[in-house]
Structure formats: structure tokens, C-alpha cells
Structure 1
């Protein structure tokens, strides 16, 4: 692992650790904001410089210089998570670390996958909140406070941007709008999802929430977001969904049809997992009741009802899906 940090006056030293190279900021911050990238040499430099300048109060969200800018309301670190890029992405990330010492760190993974990059970056974090946003900065930087502050104030366990709320202001193609709405409708029908937009690249979690959910997530690619939210819903975590200003990146290289197929596969797998967890939970409760015997007292019955099992709703095939989510907009 190669390390550059302000505590050693940016002196670099090298260690080997599982193919991961990083520049580490030593002190704990409020937020680690991860930018997962794969072959993004065209966008990475401009996007990260704009993001850092905005957080430092040097520019507005459009990149225009401001004389009296306000720094972010939280301490932060930008983490560039390079998942197996084959172009000059990693070299650009290294230069950004040098240009913003103490504010930007980078990790390089030998395997692809946005989910894998987020698991690694969030798993290493010591920040109070872990977040991510797409490198194209499609979501307005002005929405960052709405995403982060409720988590720092312990008003929510996770927060997500939603392009499908009525208050959101979105600019994207009809094709992508149709695919997005269809996917989220399928999630609500098939998995009883109660959130509006699973795939917006603008999410944040309290660190303890991330540590609870990350070991349960099986997907290492694009379905990571959806699986994260379904597991959070199953566990009854507090979700804050915020409206955003969002502009489609016309140069996106994501294959939306291939991604859609993999998302459907992930949806079926996650539904089976949640059904299994629900069945196990129901079986455990039935066994506990059986052990009380036929002469269980009314008091024991009242105690059981005071801690009810998660509400289960049948989907259109009769499968049982937990429907638990403390949800606010």
C-alpha cells in the first residue's frame, strides 16, 4: 500500500496489501465521500476538482469562483475508488491526491465492480458517515447537505437521492426515464419496495449502518444499490429519501440493457434471500411459543404481542416479503 498523508509531510512509503494502493488521510472526518470509477480518464480530473473546490467553498455547484464561499457544513474526505481501470484513471487519481493533500485519498482494486469498490472504500472508512456519488456529478452538489446532515444529526440511518419524487428536477432521455420507472415499479411489485428510486448514484449511510449491511450484500456490481436498500428495508432502518436536481450524462458508457438483465437476476436472488430470512424468523418464533407449553399464561401471550414479528406481505406469486421501513421524504 502506498501512503501519502499530511502527517508525514506527503512523504510516500509503500506496503503491499491485496492489490490495494491508497493515499490515507490520518484524522477522522465526518464524511468519506466515495467516487467509484472505471476507465474515467476523461471525466475524473474535472469532476473531482469541481467537487473539492465546492466543498472548500471556492466555487459554486457550477464551478464558478466565489469570493465569499462557505465551506461544507461537515468535515470530509473524497475517496477515489478505482476498480481495475485500464486507462490513465489511476495516474490522474494519484495527481489529485498530490494536489489536494489531506482532502483526497485513492484506492485501486484489481477487480471490477462498483459494488466491490464501495464495499472496499466504505469497509476501510472511519468516518461518521460514508457516501458515494457518480463521477459525472449528475446530481447537483447543492443537494449534498440534504443528503449528509440528517445522518450526522441521527435523524436517519441512510439517505438516498431520488429522481422520481415530484419535487425533483430531472433532465434525461425518454428511454432512460422509461427504463428507470419500469425498474422501480417492478421492485415495488415484486419485492414490495417502499423507496422510489433504487439506482440514483447519490447515497449515504451512517458508518454503523454500513457495517451492519455490507456483510449481507452479495452483489459486487450495479445491483449493489438495490440490494442495499432492500436489506435496509427488511431490517426496519430509517430511510431519508430526498428530491434532487439531476442531469443525465450523455457520455455514459453503462450498458443499460445488460445492467437491466443482471438487475432482474439480482432481484430474484434477493427476494429468495429475504423470503428465507422471513421463514427462519417465523419458525423461530413458533418454536419459542411451542416451548411455553399448552398452559401458557395470558401474560406470556401479551408479551409475545408486545414484540410482534415483522409484517409480511404476499407478492403476486404468494411469496412473503417483509415490509418494514421507517420512511421520510
Structure 2
């Protein structure tokens, strides 16, 4: 049986919400009329994430849900966690969303038809206003604007944790990816543009969860993001045929 969709769930210390998130996700996936698999890719979680994943596997295999499980033996970064999932995926379509479901899984059903006429679908987040998360709102907007202007990206939001690809197209780009952290999201979109993949955006409602422990350090991650953006621009500007396998 050929798998149509491989859904990657990158995990790092997700015990607080993993079980409830997967229950909600399953209610969406069972609406699909085509075969799918779920890939848990764990980046060396230090809480009960692995235990909960095993509980989910035991419960849902009885419902004939296909699973794969990847476990890093050390923390390798968000980008590496997603990319390892893409590499082992068996579906015609492969993609991921963040396990906290700040972007709802219901958008998966809207994404798949778009891939009939493109190679990549990227979530474009719109934010309900909240004073509690206003600093993260402006930080995210600044990231998106900067990446779009500096890299001339065809999307408004390269950092959303909601991206889906045609497997045959995206796997050709993976050898050229350098970043294994949060900048991976921007790099994969930029490389998709460089390699002439057709990209579409899907507006997705983004609801910041304030009931979970965040793994994001705004100041530190902002600095790291800017540094990686500079390195990527230098890489593109100074790459030449035969030296660096990146096309303009």
C-alpha cells in the first residue's frame, strides 16, 4: 500500500501536551481518504516525552495507524529533527507541524489539495492580538520581514512550524541544507526558491499557547537567527559554479 502523506512531529520536551495534541491530530487524520503515516522525531527529550510516545504507539497501532519513530542520542536541533523525519518518510507528500498545535492540524486538510499544483506549501501565520504575547508577535514579524527582504523570498512567513512538500522534490534539496537549528525553516524555503520549486502560502491562524513551557529564548534566539541569516547570505553571494552547489 502506497503512503500518500507522511506527517512528521518534531519533539523536544513535549510531555505537557503531547497526548492531548495527538488525540486532536488523529481526529483530523482519520478524515483523510488516503493512507498516511506519523513520524515521531525526538531530539533527545529530557522529560516524559518518550514514555508518552510509546503509550501513543501502543494505543493507536490497534487502530491501524502507521508509525515511525526516530530518537536522537543527543540534542541536534529543530532543523535536524525535522530533516531526519523527511529522509525516512515514505509518503508522496511529507511535512510537519509543531506538536503544541499553535497552528491547528485542521489546516492539513486544506494544504493537501494545494500540492496538486505546487511543490511546497508554507503556513503564513496570522495572530489574534494579545498583550501577553505582544513581544513575540513583533519578534516573529521582524524575522519574517527581514528574511523576505534580505533573501527575496516568495513568502511572507518563512518561520512558521507548518510546512509540507512533495517528497521527490524536497529530498533533492536536503544535501544542500547546512543549518540544523531554528534557521532551518528559512533555509529550506530559500533553497526551494533557488532550486525553482513552486511555493504557495496558506494563511493559518496562530494561537500562542501560554500554558506550556517555552523552549525559546527571545534574545538568544534572535541573535542566533541574525547570525545564521548573515552566514547564509554570504554563502549565496560568494558561491560559484563548481565550488558551492547552489544555483542563483
**1:316-327 counterparts in 2 under 5 A?**
322=248
The worse-fitting range, judged by mean Cα deviation, of 169-178 and 129-138 is 169-178
Is 2:117 aligned against 1:143? Answer: no
Equivalenced residue count is 236
Q: Distance in 2 between matches of 1:220 and 1:109?
A: 13
Aligned to 1:83: 43
Deviation at 1:179, TM superposition (A): 0.7
Preserved contact between residue 94 and residue 106 of structure 1 (Cα < 8 Å):
no
Equivalent pair of 1:97/1:106 in contact (CA under 8 Å): no
Q: How does 1:215-230 map to 2 (within 5 A)?
A: 215-230=175-190
Within the candidate set 63, 85, 88, 1:124 is matched to 88
What is the Cα-based RMSD across aligned positions, in Å? 1.8
Q: If you compute each CA radius of gyration, which structure gives the higher value, 1 or 2?
A: 1
Give 1:111 shift: 2.5
Distance 2:162 2:34 in 1: 17
Report the TM-score when normalising by structure 1. Answer: 0.68
Match of 1:316 in 2: none
Name the SS for the 1:141 alignment partner. Answer: coil
Question: Runs ≥4 in structure 1, deviation > 3 angstroms?
Answer: 168-172
Aligned with 1:221: secondary structure? coil
Mapped contact 1:171–1:247 kept (Cα < 8 A): no
Which runs of 5 or more residues in structure 2 are unaligned? Answer: none
| Cα distance per residue 1:221-259 (max 9 Å; x no partner) | 111100001111111210010111221121233212222
Equivalent residue, structure 2, for 1:108: 71
Alpha-carbon contact 1:171-1:248 (below 8 Å) kept: no
> 2:197 aligns to what?
237
Query: Which position in structure 2 is the counterpart of 1:34?
Result: 8
C-alpha displacement of 1:137:
0.6
Q: TM-score, normalised by structure 2?
A: 0.89
Measured in 1, the distance between the counterparts of 2:112 and 2:20 equals 23
- Please name the residue that 1:96 is paired with: 56
Unaligned 5+ segments in structure 1 are: 1-26, 57-70, 282-309, 311-321, 323-329
Greater RCO (Cα-Cα under 8 Å, separation 6 or more): 2
The aligned counterpart of 2:241 is: 280
Structure-2 residue corresponding to 1:19: none
